[in-house]
Structure 1
Amino acid sequence: MSHGGYAVVDVDEDPAGDIGGSTSGLEFKTFLSTDPAPNRSTSPNTAPQAPSSYFDVDTNIVLKRVGMAMIPREGFIVEVCDGQIDLYGPFWTLTTLILSLYTTSTLTSSITHYLASPNTPINSNLPLLSTATSVVYFYGLGVPALLWGATKWLKVGEWGVAEALGVYGYAMTVFVPISLLCLIPVGILRWALVAAAAASSGYFLVRNIYPVLASGDNKAVRLLIIAVVVLHAAVALAMKVLFFSYTVAGVEVGPDPIEDPLLR
């Protein structure tokens, strides 16, 4: 009812009172998170992990990282891998590259041998597979391990051996499609393809290794990046000579069908 324009609202009081009584079903909840704030550090996670954790990765994630590795960028581990590098992708990339190098080299050698001498049987070149395995695994696994050991000894950089292996392994991704394109029997084109792959993967290495070397106080350590570039160029040149030339069992049977012999 109303009195003089005012509305009167009756409020029922709790018969039990405030002392020892009920709270009429009211509950007070906090919406503040009790979990610690997530770590948003921009540096890779270098804490020791179980070896199996580096291979516990989804195939789609590996394929995404493989594709992104063909685009030279800085901070690959932090931005693309979210600070958690895997070793399945690098190992898969290196193994695929070995098979690709051997298969394409054997195929081109067989075709050239058949064109040069159709009546002569073609023998497989298994030592070439051993060469591909030695070159790729030593460079993709041994060199980054040595580089990590050097930075550890010099007390430079905050990265683990898994990060070093991951960077080198993913850097070699671009050579897989290049090995297929080098089936094209044009000498100058093969040189251009290998040079482009070496430049792209080398730039990828520089963008991801130099920040580690530059993080220390000793500026002379940064000169290690020169050794990284020179060794990478040497490996690319070795792959061109060993696997992207027209040879049969390591013996050259003739010039490229189109280009000058100097460009073989």
Structure 2
Amino acid sequence: MYEPQVIKPKLPVDPQKSHMFQLHFYRRFFDLDTETFFRKIQQALNPFNGAQAVDDELDASDSELYGFIWITGTLIFLVFVSSTGSNLLAEWLHPTKKSQKYEYSFDLLTLSISLFYGYNVVVPALFWGFTTWFLKFPQPTSLIRVISIYGYTNILWVPITVLNLLIVLIVNNKKHHLLLNLLEWLVVLFSGLVTGLSNITKLRPIVQKNCLLLHEGDADASTKQAWAIIAGLAVAHAGFVLLVKISFFGITA
């Protein structure tokens, strides 16, 4: 008598047991629900909120790359549109007989991809490598977690893309070039300040805790070391803000 063959369902592959050459290995970095995603955006919008880095309940959701890739990619597109659109608007609203027709270049998009993805990967990688392998933090955070913190902070750059277009609508670059340049600097510096403050606020508890453990409770020595690390992050962010201003938010005179 014929007996039907029973097909056993395949058990899901544990991402923790897979290796980097398997697709399942990367699944855990994109395992994120909508509620957690918007909660982390809300935390990133508050530069004084350090809960994302110290709340144990968020440890699992912090080690994901979905927010970093999605938010940074959206920002790159908006920056390109804002920079290109501001120049097109300036030419259309304030034409002159001697002005040449503005020609946008997709090289700006390539530059935007390199700058934003590069900064938000290289700086966290340097921070993680320095604190983990050189300083040997007793309780180091993961590289993915640091990249995730930087990635969600990029949401604070989005308003600048809108403000850049509004400034062009209000100020004539041909007649008030200095005023326009000053307003752009103020907007970029403010955005850079809140993004840098958000990153540092969320990483500072990790740095302070590990520095205190390294110096076995010596408050003075741990404080000096913690502030030195934070100062390094601040300097790196200041350089990034300067590159953003020069590369994307200048309007040709």
The normalised TM-score by structure 1 is: 0.68
How many residues were matched structurally?
A: 202
Q: How does 1:203-218 map to 2 (within 5 A)?
A: 203-214=197-208, 215-216=210-211, 217=214
5 Å-filtered alignment, 1:1-264, equals: 50-72=25-47, 73-79=49-55, 82-84=58-60, 85=62, 86-114=64-92, 115-116=94-95, 121-153=101-133, 154-156=135-137, 157-185=139-167, 186=171, 187=180, 188-214=182-208, 215-216=210-211, 217=214, 219=222, 221-222=225-226, 223-246=228-251, 252=252, 254=253
Is the contact between residue 94 and residue 136 of structure 1 (CA under 8 Å) also seen in structure 2?
yes
- Cα distance in 2 for residues equivalent to 1:82 and 1:130: 34
Q: Deviation of residue 192 (structure 1)?
A: 2.4
* Structure 2 spans left out of the alignment, 5+ residues: 1-15, 19-24, 172-179, 216-221
SS of residue matched to 1:57: coil
* More deviation, 186-195/197-206: 186-195
Larger radius of gyration: 1
Asked whether the equivalents of residues 90 and 168 of structure 1 are also in contact (C-alpha less than 8 Å), the reply is yes
Could you list the runs of 5+ residues in structure 1 that have no partner in the other structure?
1-46, 247-251, 255-264
Secondary structure of the equivalent of 2:104? coil
Shift of 1:193: 2.3
Note if contact 2:153-2:198 (Cα within 8 Å) is conserved in structure 1. yes
- Kindly indicate whether the alpha-carbon contact (under 8 Å) linking 1:68 and 1:80 is maintained by their aligned counterparts in 2: no
- Report the residue type matching 2:105 in the other structure: N
- Looking at structure 2, the residues matched to 111 and 144 of structure 1 have their Cα atoms a distance apart, in angstroms, of 36
Offset at residue 208 of structure 1 (A)? 1.8
Give, in whole Å, the separation in 2 of the partners of 1:63 and 1:80.
Answer: 18
Which residue number corresponds to residue 4 of structure 1? Answer: none
In structure 1, distance between residues paired with 2:41 and 2:56: 10
Q: Distance in 2 between matches of 1:235 and 1:141?
A: 13
Percent pairwise identity:
26
Whole-angstrom CA distance in 2 between matches of 1:180 and 1:91? 21
- Contact 2:53/2:203 (<8 A) preserved: no
1:116 partner amino acid: P
Contact kept? 2:54, 2:206, Cα under 8 Å: no
The amino acid that maps onto 1:179 is T
Which structure shows the bigger proportion of residues in helix conformation? 2
- Once the two structures are superposed, residues 123-157 of structure 1 have per-residue CA deviations (whole angstroms, 9 ceiling, x without a partner) of 22111111111110111112111211111112124
Higher relative contact order (CA 8 A, sep 6+): 2
